[in-house]
């Protein structure tokens, strides 16, 4: 129904609509009414909208108190710092990424990161029961951590928590699984398959660390324990396990490009991200120090870390 004159109800609805604070249901009803061509309501909305546009200039300009300004600037700086930190990390959550067939029946991979400069890749791998992987030569250092199941490499039977590193030029033969497995792997993208004859034997150039091998020792701060697994002098980097007690805050260090974390247990806050078991992150450039905090405790595999972190 079109109005003949502006009633109190019309004025109220028009004012609230112009200010954008009319209840959504009432706003939809009022818009339908305007669409019917009510000139009275349309005229009142236009008049109120013109007034509303000037309300922001109705108060006198006043400089904020110094403490208010400082708090605001500090919050802006923290937010900008968090956004910058997040942009300097590649993060792949446990539910992110796609599993793809890897050209061998029963083998599936999820690509976590590919470094086009160093020609290296980090992947999650999954093999179904009975799979045999072809013999292959390593163009660069290969590091493998078994997450679940069983995996035999060169005659060595590996279980969950076992780690294997193979140096450049070495050859892996007899790679297979009986019941299936899952693993984390970082290696050169230039590895190549080779023909091998005879039975597979223990590999040269390979280092194997069982989950029960080695000793945990106190880290650089209270609440942190570390187990060193492998070092690569040419790159001055180390791979190891890090265990952090609940409630511990680790001061930031200067991550180098290529430093990688794979979370095995618990969760932690790192560089503006919350990382949980199965999550992966990698520093994509030399960046500002990033601290780590865990509420309930966590354990993660740390690859390509600065050697001084592990002593």
User: Using one digit for the tens of pLDDT, what is the confidence trace for 225-252?
Assistant: 999 999 888 777 889 999 999 999 888 7
pLDDT score, position 59: 55
Matching CATH number, 214-310, of 2.40.160.10, 2.60.40.10, 2.60.120.10, 3.90.380.10: 2.60.120.10
Query: DSSP string covering 110-171, please?
Result: EEEEEETTTTEEEEEEEE-TT-EEPPEE-SS-EEEEEEEEEEEETTEEEETT-EEEE-TT-E
- At residue 51, the pLDDT reads 66
- pLDDT top residue among 52 and 234: 234
pTM: 0.70
Residue 53, pLDDT score: 57
Fold of 100-209: Jelly Rolls (2.60.120)
Domains 100-209 and 214-310 are alike in CATH topology: yes
Beta strands in 222-279 (DSSP E): 224-232, 237-244, 249-253, 260-270, 273-276
Q: What percent of the chain has pLDDT over 90?
A: 45
Structure tokens at 273: 């991200």
Residue-level pLDDT at 301: 97
pLDDT tens figures, 262-308: 999 999 998 788 999 999 999 876 556 678 899 999 999 999 887 66
Strands 181-188 and 132-133, by their bridges, are unpaired
Where along the chain do its domains lie? Answer: 8-57, 100-209, 214-310
* 208, pLDDT greater than 70: yes
């Amino acid at each position: 129904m079109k109005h003949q004159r502006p009633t109190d109800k019309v004025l109220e609805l028009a004012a609230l609509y112009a200010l954008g604070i009319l209840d959504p249901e009432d706003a939809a009803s009022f818009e339908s009414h305007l669409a019917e061509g009510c000139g009275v309501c349309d005229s009142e909305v236009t008049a109120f909208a013109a007034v509303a546009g000037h309300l922001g200039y109705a108060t006198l300009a006043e400089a904020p108190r110094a403490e208010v300004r400082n708090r605001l600037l500090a919050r802006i700086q923290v937010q900008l710092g968090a956004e910058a930190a997040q942009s300097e990390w590649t993060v792949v959550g446990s539910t992110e990424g796609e599993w793809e067939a890897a050209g061998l029946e029963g083998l599936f991979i999820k690509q976590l990161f590919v470094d086009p400069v160093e020609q290296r890749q980090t992947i999650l791998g999954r093999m179904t029961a009975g799979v045999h992987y072809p013999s292959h030569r390593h163009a660069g250092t290969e590091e493998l951590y078994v997450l679940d199941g069983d995996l035999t490499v060169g005659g060595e039977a590996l279980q969950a928590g076992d780690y294997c590193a193979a140096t450049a030029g070495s050859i892996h033969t007899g790679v297979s699984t009986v019941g299936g497995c899952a693993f984390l792997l970082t290696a050169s993208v230039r590895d190549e398959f080779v023909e091998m004859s005879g039975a597979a034997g223990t590999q040269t150039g390979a280092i194997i660390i069982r989950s029960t091998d080695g000793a945990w020792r106190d880290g650089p701060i209270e609440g942190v324990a570390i187990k060193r697994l492998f070092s690569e002098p040419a790159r001055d980097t180390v791979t190891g396990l890090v265990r952090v007690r609940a409630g511990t805050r680790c001061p930031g260090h200067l991550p180098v490009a290529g430093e990688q974390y794979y979370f095995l247990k618990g969760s932690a806050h790192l560089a503006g991200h919350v990382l949980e078991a199965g999550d992966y992150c990698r520093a994509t450039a030399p960046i500002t120090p990033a601290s780590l905090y865990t509420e309930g405790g966590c354990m993660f595999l740390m690859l390509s870390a600065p050697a001084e972190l592990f002593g």
